[in-house]
């Protein structure tokens, strides 16, 4: 592009006006009016008019007549005989050798935009008339053609890309119409397409489009500000185009009559462009500096052309096309500069984001470490509390019901009572340190040492085993008055038991059962047996997406399990007081039955100390059967059959609606614990069945 610009400038600099003065005076008449000699510029002429003159003798080869305003020319005659044109669509006419003194008449038809003066045409040697004008207009035509081709390419490429019109498309909307204006202003236009009205309308339309393109370009590159001046100006240009076209096609007024308004809008657009680009240029933005440099060149180079158009001075070569070409080139440089600047800023932002992310990850690791340490401390406090309570053989004092607004342990504000169980009451509370809403479980009534230690062990287990499908414990302690408490996360939903009306709906039940099996698998992996899994101990709560999820709660009778052949650190076969204070205490007597009978595995009939993870799996299968079918798999509690010496009537068919997981649920009800599947296997099968 730079090489083409330099070559064209060098070629245009060699252009000169025709040597000598071949202009001749004319006289004219409009309609049937009188003939009048043309001396000064007249107002625009509307309609048909005729001009005539006596031809002087032309010395030189190929005498020719050159008429201006060639677009409106209808016919030319020499002594009443039509003259042929040298080029189709042009106004160069070859004269016969005996042309001197003969009368030439030219008929024009104007719609009101043509002005003429005393010099409406000239005669002379054809080469001397044609060559200077061709050289004079060739640069404008070349620049115009280049702008049109470049603008169309940019517009098509920019609008077909994803994400809407790009800055390149907006530059094309400015460049292509501007090129049409330059082409139409030359005689080469008629060589491309000889239809004066079409070129007139094309020029009128282009004059409305390129200011709109400029406004949209600046808006896309530098923004428009709160007043939206540029965007509104572009819509004004398009609105004036519609009005001007309608007036022209209906014969009300020419489209050129609205051009003056467009030029006013163009001044507003240029002013707003300077206002938007100047602060960014001062801030060092290369795109704004390139744009302002191109705009300055375009305005400065066009000033001589504007002066000539207003009749001030004369000009050898029109410079406006070159200035606009430089402006379009600068606009392209501005787009590329902004792209580079944006890429640089994106790189800097990415580095900053990476640094922040690294810091956030470090902070997250720190928080996770603190949470792990907090859980460890809670578990150790629970364990130490359990050991300390081993020597307390007298019942602990009970606690009275807590009232809303009451302060508990100096750290919790009571909100409301959530429920009352055999070992204690559960309240909704607000933790004063961070205003977090929690559930507070408080031991109530007269409680013996075993129950107190069991309460503390519940806190220890829940603190050590953390998972989304388990209700987590955040704190445990004892008040000065001797009341044991533990703070848990608050699950706002109801229990699975309260949703009995929805039992029998596999689409609803399967995802929840998969959640419970997943939580049970986590407990077993940590070496914990729940020993009281039932619908009442499964809480339901919607997650962030609104999907109902299940959590296992109440580890009041849970215990650390021991593998076959290993010694359980909380062996249930010991008796209270048989170990010194500070050692693990037994919490379940030999042969003691603990749990809810209808969900207890058959082997637990000989004592809860025999509970293993497979026992939880059996209870889970009973619960799953009930939730899926609205019926339990046995006619009575399984342990009653064992105690009565009767065989257990295990179902032979899988539960309806369980799909592929039904076979595993049936196997989980096997009388032999070793033949039952694991909780992890059940979780996987139920999750697949739930889809």
- Distance (Å, whole) CA 327 – CA 237: 21
- Distance (Å, whole) CA 192 – CA 214: 27
First to last CA, the chain: 62
Instruction: Specify the 3-state DSSP secondary structure of 537.
Output: helix
CB atoms under 10 Å from CB of 414, counted, come to: 19
- Distance (Å, whole) CA 347 – CA 339: 12
Instruction: Yes or no: say if 269 and 215 are a contact pair by the CB < 8 Å rule.
Output: yes
Strand partners, 65: 93, 123
With a CB cutoff of 8 Å and minimum separation 6, the contacts of 548 are 493, 508, 511, 512, 540, 541, 542
- Distance (Å, whole) CA 665 – CA 655: 8
Q: How many CA atoms lie within 13 A of 575 on its CB side?
A: 1
CB atoms under 10 Å from CB of 566, counted, come to: 8
Alpha-carbon dihedral sign for residues 168, 169, 171, 176? positive
- Distance (Å, whole) CA 337 – CA 167: 12
Active-site choice (185, 475, 532, 616): 532
Return the axis-axis angle of helices 196-222 and 229-250, rounded to nearest 10°.
170
Active site residue 480: no
- Distance (Å, whole) CA 553 – CA 534: 10
Q: 3-state SS string over 304-363?
A: HHHHHHCCCCCCCCCCHHHHHHHHHHHHHHHHHHHHHHHHHHHHHHHHHHHHHHHHHHHH
DSSP line for 436-501: -EEEEEEE-S-B-HHHHHHHHHHHHHHHH---TTBPPEEEEEE-TTS-EEEEEE---S-BSGGGGG
Q: Which residues are catalytic?
A: 532
């Amino acid at each position: 592009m730079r090489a083409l610009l330099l070559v064209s400038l060098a070629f245009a600099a060699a252009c000169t006006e025709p040597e000598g003065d071949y202009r001749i005076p004319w006289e004219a008449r409009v309609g049937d009016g009188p003939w009048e000699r043309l001396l000064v510029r007249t107002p625009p002429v509307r309609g048909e008019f005729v001009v005539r003159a006596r031809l002087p003798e032309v010395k030189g080869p190929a005498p020719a007549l050159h008429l201006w305003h060639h677009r409106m020319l209808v016919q030319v005659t020499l002594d009443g005989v039509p003259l042929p044109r040298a080029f189709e669509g042009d106004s160069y006419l070859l004269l016969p050798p005996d042309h001197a003194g003969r009368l030439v008449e030219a008929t024009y038809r104007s719609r009101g935009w043509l002005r003429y003066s005393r010099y409406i045409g000239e005669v002379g040697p054809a080469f001397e008339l044609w060559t200077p004008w061709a050289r004079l207009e060739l640069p404008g035509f070349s620049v115009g053609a280049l702008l049109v081709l470049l603008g169309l390419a940019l517009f098509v490429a920019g609008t077909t890309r994803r994400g809407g019109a790009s800055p390149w498309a907006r530059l094309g909307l400015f460049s292509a119409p501007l090129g049409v204006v330059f082409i139409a202003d030359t005689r080469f236009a008629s060589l491309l397409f000889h239809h004066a009205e079409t070129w007139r309308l094309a020029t009128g339309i282009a004059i409305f489009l390129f200011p709109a393109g400029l406004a949209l370009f600046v808006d896309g590159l530098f923004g428009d500000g709160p007043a939206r001046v540029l965007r509104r100006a572009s819509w004004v240009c398009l609105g004036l185009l519609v009005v001007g076209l309608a007036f022209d096609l209906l014969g009300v007024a020419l489209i050129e009559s609205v051009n003056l308004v467009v030029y006013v809008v163009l001044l507003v657009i240029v002013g707003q462009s300077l206002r938007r680009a100047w602060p960014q240029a001062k801030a060092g933005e290369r795109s704004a500096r390139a744009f302002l440099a191109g705009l300055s060149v375009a305005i400065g180079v066009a000033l001589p052309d504007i002066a000539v158009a207003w009749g001030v001075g004369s000009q050898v070569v029109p410079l406006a096309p070159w200035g606009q070409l430089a402006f379009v080139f600068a606009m392209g440089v501005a787009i590329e500069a902004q792209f580079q600047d944006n890429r640089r800023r994106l790189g800097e932002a990415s580095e900053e984001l990476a640094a922040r992310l690294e810091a956030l990850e470090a902070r997250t690791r720190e928080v996770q470490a603190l949470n792990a340490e907090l859980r460890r401390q809670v578990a150790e406090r629970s364990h130490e509390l359990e050991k300390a309570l081993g020597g307390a053989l007298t019942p602990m004092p009970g606690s009275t019901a807590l009232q809303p607004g009451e302060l508990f342990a100096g750290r919790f504000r009571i909100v409301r009572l959530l429920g009352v169980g055999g070992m204690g009451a559960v309240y909704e509370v607000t933790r004063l340190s961070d205003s977090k809403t929690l559930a507070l479980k408080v031991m109530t009534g007269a409680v013996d040492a075993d129950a107190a230690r069991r309460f503390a062990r519940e806190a220890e287990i829940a603190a050590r085993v953390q998972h989304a499908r388990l209700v987590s414990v955040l704190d445990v302690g004892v008040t000065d008055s001797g009341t044991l408490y533990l703070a848990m996360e608050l699950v706002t939903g109801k229990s699975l038991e309260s949703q009995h009306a929805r039992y029998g709906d596999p689409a609803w039940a399967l995802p929840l059962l998969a959640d419970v099996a997943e939580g049970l698998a986590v407990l077993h992996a940590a070496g914990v047996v729940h020993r009281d899994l039932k619908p009442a101990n499964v809480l339901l709560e919607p997650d962030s997406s609104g999907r109902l999820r299940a959590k296992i709660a109440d580890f009041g009778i849970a215990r650390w399990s021991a593998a076959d052949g290993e010694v359980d650190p909380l062996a249930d076969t010991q008796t209270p007081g048989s170990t010194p204070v500070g050692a693990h205490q037994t919490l379940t007597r030999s042969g003691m039955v603990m749990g809810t009978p209808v969900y207890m595995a058959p082997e637990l009939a000989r004592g809860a100390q025999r509970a293993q993870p497979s026992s939880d799996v059996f209870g889970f299968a009973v619960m799953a059967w009930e939730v899926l079918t609205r019926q339990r798999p046995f006619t009575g509690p399984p342990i009653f059959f064992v105690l009565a010496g009767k065989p257990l009537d295990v179902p032979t068919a899988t539960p309806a609606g369980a799909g592929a997981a039904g076979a595993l649920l049936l196997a989980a009800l096997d009388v032999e614990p070793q033949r039952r599947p694991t909780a992890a296997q059940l979780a996987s099968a139920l999750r697949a069945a739930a889809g």
